[in-house]
Amino acid sequence: RRGEMAKSTQLIDNEVFRAYATYTAIVLLKMMLMSLITAYFRITRKAFVNPEDTASFGKGENAKKYLRTDPDVERVRRGHLNDLENIVPFVGIGLLYALSSPELSTALLHFRIFTGARILHTFAYLIPLPQPGRGLSWAVGYAVTFSMAYKVLKTAWLL
Amino acid sequence: RRGEMAKSTQLIDNEVFRAYATYTAIVLLKMMLMSLITAYFRITRKAFVNPEDTASFGKGENAKKYLRTDPDVERVRRGHLNDLENIVPFVGIGLLYALSSPELSTALLHFRIFTGARILHTFAYLIPLPQPGRGLSWAVGYAVTFSMAYKVLKTAWLL
Amino acid sequence: RRGEMAKSTQLIDNEVFRAYATYTAIVLLKMMLMSLITAYFRITRKAFVNPEDTASFGKGENAKKYLRTDPDVERVRRGHLNDLENIVPFVGIGLLYALSSPELSTALLHFRIFTGARILHTFAYLIPLPQPGRGLSWAVGYAVTFSMAYKVLKTAWLL
């Protein structure tokens, strides 16, 4: 058993993999934060979607008026969905990239730019910043993931 | 080739990784089940979104009346999206956590509580149970993922 | 350091894992393509959701009229969400499957059918093809993921 344990820890001892683990955890925690921001806006704007969520505001028509959409809530939800659409490919392709023996400095560059771009994207979406702020931060993260996918396909290609 | 094969199986021989694989498969299968439940409600409630899906009900206005939203369908879809928002971080962070050499008992505790919480969350959403049933089950899964992320960052930290 | 590096590359030297890496990269790139198609339809149909995205069309009412939903945009977005719901389980379960020592030919069969089914699904959704074209391509991808999950649970089972 001991030997197996030791073997399974080797991956996390690899520096590129450690960098991947660090940035993936950060970027997934950032995505999870969107749930809390949505909850915050739902509660402060009193804008809910499930009838059972408004029960504490009373019964009947009194509670029903809080079943509505709010522009701030919808904005956070769009940011959250955009995170899912972009962070899922980063996590999946990034793992394969980290296992394709890139240079540590190159890997760090990819992970750092992606993470920075997605944090900027969230601010650009929530403040909101004028375009092309959000568009550019989205495109930078997209390009980084694309670059990692290129390295993965070049290294692993077996169709 | 044989040597490589043997090496690649070592990960799945590791007990923490086997536990991760088991619970990740279960929780992803549970998420996939939401597609079938959505299809079931779409068909029984006759509530579709794509015109080509209603073609079997006839042509013109007769088919068009089934292009509508239904509260039960929308409820399942919200549950599915909530799964994506929460199970994606679990799968990503959980993999890194499983590779960060946690104690088997601690790892099992994390995986079991998360899986139980998400199954409860689905029941709370679909029945629906009165709040804070759904809210609490969501928060428990969220806290478990957060705890795993903390261990990952403590072990792997390389910024 | 050299020894560790060498070890981390062994996974990508394994043929099943290389096949997994190749098809996962392809299928995630295909999913990322949906963002570009959404952007294309938003711009050509002039249908936006964020006020800051219409600022270049002028101010006030002139820009406001482009804050609207468009059936083509919504169709691509549904295809994108369907990708997320189905490709996330493939990437997660597929990784565990690739580590569960399947035969290379069996693994390739799974990965190829899934990838083909999801590409067909996208065409069926966007053209759109009459049903059951989209339904069948969805079901095939679903069944492949289910089959991989069965192998993972049979190999790894530790509850």
Q: What is the pLDDT of residue A12?
A: 79
User: Token digits for A5?
Assistant: 């344990």
Task: Determine contact: C139 vs chain A, CB below 8 A.
Answer: no
Q: Would you say residue B7 has pLDDT above 50?
A: no
C88 near A CB under 8 A: yes
| Cβ atoms of residues B152 and A25 within 8 Å | yes
B134: CB partners within 8 A, 6+ apart = A50, A52, B121, B124, B125, B128
Query: How many other C-beta atoms are found inside a 10 Å radius of the C-beta of residue C137?
Result: 21
Q: Token pair 């999950």 is at which residue? A: C149
Residues 6+ apart with CB under 8 A from B4: C10, C13, C14, C15
Closest by CA to A96, choosing from C21, C65, C35, is C21
pLDDT recorded at residue B60: 77
Smallest CA-to-CA distance from B77 within B44, B45, B39 is with B39
- Whether A8 shows a pLDDT value over 60: the answer reads no
Judged against a pLDDT cut of 80, whether residue A70 lies above it is answered with: yes
For residue C67, the cross-strand partners are C48
Q: What is the pLDDT of residue B145?
A: 98
Residue at token pair 């015109």 = B51
pLDDT per residue over A17-46, tens digit each? 999 999 999 999 999 999 999 999 999 999
Q: Minimal Cα–Cα distance from C10 to chain A, Å?
A: 9
- Model pTM above 0.90: yes
Answer yes or no: do B32 and C95 touch at CB < 8 A: no
Domains of chain B plus CATH, in order, are: 15-44+70-154 (1.20.120.550)
Task: Give A5-58 as a DSSP string.
Answer: HHHHHHHHHSHHHHHHHHHHHHHHHHHHHHHHHHHHHHHHTT-BSSGGGGGGG-
Does A96 sit within 8 Å of C21, measured CB to CB? yes
Test B22 with C100 for CB contact under 8 angstroms. no
Residue of C nearest to A89 (CA): C28
Contact B110, B147 (CB under 8 A): yes
User: What letter does residue A14 receive in the DSSP assignment?
Assistant: S
User: For the residues C122-145, what does the mean pLDDT come to?
Assistant: 97
DSSP three-state, residue C88: helix
Can you tell me the mean pLDDT for C142-156? 97
Asked whether B117 and B144 are in contact (CB, 8 A), the reply is yes
- Given pLDDT bands bounded at 50, 70 and 90, which one contains residue C58? confident
Instruction: For residue A24, give both structure tokens.
Output: 């993936």
**Residues in chain C within 8 Å Cβ distance of A10:** 4, 7-8
CA distance B53 to A52: 31
- For the record, the structure tokens of C98 come out as 């690739």
Please indicate if any CB of chain C lies within 8 Å of the CB of A115.
no
**Dihedral angle at the C-alpha atoms of B112, A80, C79, C68, nearest 10 degrees?**
150
Q: What are phi and psi of C50, to 5 degrees?
A: -100, 125
Q: Which tokens is A94 given?
A: 């990034």
CA nearest to B91 within chain C: C92
What residue in A sits closest to B88 (Cα-Cα)?
Answer: A88
B40-69 confidence digits (pLDDT tens):
999 999 999 999 999 888 777 788 899 999
Which amino acid would we find at residue A21?
A
> Are residues B75 and A4, on separate chains, in Cβ contact within 8 Å?
no
Which run of H or E residues covers position B41? Answer: helix B15-44
Q: Is C86 in contact with C141 (CB distance < 8 Å)?
A: yes
**CA distance linking residue C154 with residue C151, whole number of Å:** 5
For all residues of chain A together, what is the average pLDDT?
92
pLDDT at B8: 44
pLDDT of residue B113: 98
3-state secondary structure of C67: strand
DSSP-derived 3-state class of residue B158: coil
Q: How many CB atoms lie within 10 A of CB A115?
A: 21
The neighbours of chain A, by the rule of 3 or more Cβ pairs under 8 Å, are B, C
Residue B130: cis peptide before it, omega within 30 degrees of 0 = no
